[in-house]
Amino acid sequence: MKVSKEKYELAKARACMSSADIVRAGIPKGTLANILNGEVLPQTVGRLAKVLGVDVTEIID
């Protein structure tokens, strides 16, 4: 799966979260970089969506 950087940034803004907040919520910094730079496993995108409080379909391309 590929995460849309624009949709991710919008979801992050709606959740009032910084990247540091997302890391503190349990998404490792390296994993977050991988999410934004390429293809990742669906369950990883699911974890990110859960942290942001959105449905997966709101952040994928």
Residue 51: pLDDT band by 50, 70, 90 thresholds?
A: very high
Q: Inform me whether the pLDDT recorded for 12 exceeds 90.
A: yes
The gap from C-alpha 30 to its chain's centroid, in whole angstroms, comes to 12
Fold (CATH) for 5-58: 434 Repressor (Amino-terminal Domain) (1.10.260)
Cα(20)–Cα(59) distance, rounded to whole angstroms? Answer: 18
**pTM for the model:** 0.90
pLDDT given at position 43: 94
Residue 36: predicted pLDDT: 87
Contacts (Cβ under 8 Å, ≥6 apart) of 58? 7, 11, 49
Q: Read off φ and ψ for residue 42, nearest 5 degrees.
A: -55, -40
The domain segmentation of the chain, as residue ranges, is 5-58
Which pLDDT band holds residue 26 (cuts at 50, 70, 90)?
very high
